[in-house]
Amino acid sequence: MLAIGTSNPMNCVRQNEYADWYFRVTKRDHLGKWKDKMKRICEKSGIRKRYLHHTEKMIHGHPELLDPTLPSLRTRLGITEDAVPELAAAAATKAIAQWGRPAGDITHLIVNSANSVAGSPGADLRVAALLGLQPSVQRTMLCLHGCSGGCLALRLAKDLAENNIGARVLVVCVEVFVLCFRGPDATRLDELVAMTLFGDGAGAAIVGTGPVNAVERPIFHMVSASQATLPGTENVVELKISENGVDFEMSSVLPKLVRENIKQCLVNTLAPVGLASDDLNGLFWAAHPGGRAILDSYETALGLEPGKLAASRRVLSEYGNMFGATIFFVLDEMRRRHRSCNEEREKGEWGVMLGLGPGISVEMMVLHAVGTGVED
Ligand code: CAA
pLDDT tens digits for 54-113? 999 999 999 999 999 999 999 999 999 999 999 999 999 999 999 999 999 999 999 999
Which class for 136: exposed (0-12), middle (13-18), buried (19 or more C-beta within 10 A)?
Answer: exposed
- Bond prior to 121 in cis (omega within 30° of 0): yes
The crossing angle, in degrees rounded to 10, of helices 32-44 and 15-25 is 150
Residue 278: band (very low, low, confident or very high) from pLDDT cuts 50, 70, 90: confident
Question: How many A from CA of 271 to the centre of ligand 1?
Answer: 33
In ligand 1, the atom with minimum distance to the C-alpha of 190 is 1
Residues designated as active site: 147
For ligand 1, residues with CB inside 6 Å are 37, 40-41, 44-45, 146-148, 189-190, 193, 237, 250, 252, 254-255, 290-294, 323, 356-358
Question: How many A from CA of 252 to the centre of ligand 1?
Answer: 6
* Per-residue pLDDT tens over the stretch 172-223: 999 999 999 999 988 888 899 999 999 999 999 999 999 988 899 999 999 9
Question: Is pLDDT of 373 > 70?
Answer: no
Alpha carbons 28 and 243: distance in angstroms, whole number = 22
To test the ligand 1 pocket, which listed residue (190, 193, 354) has its Cβ within 8 A of the most ligand atoms? 193
| Ligand 1, atom 1: closest residue by C-alpha | 190
DSSP state at residue 282: G
Question: How many A from CA of 354 to the centre of ligand 1?
Answer: 20
Mean pLDDT in the chain?
93
Helix ranges restricted to H, 203-309: 254-270, 292-302
In ligand 1, the atom with minimum distance to the C-alpha of 293 is 39
Question: Is pLDDT of 344 > 50?
Answer: no
Please, are residues 364 and 354 in contact by the beta-carbon 8 Å criterion? yes
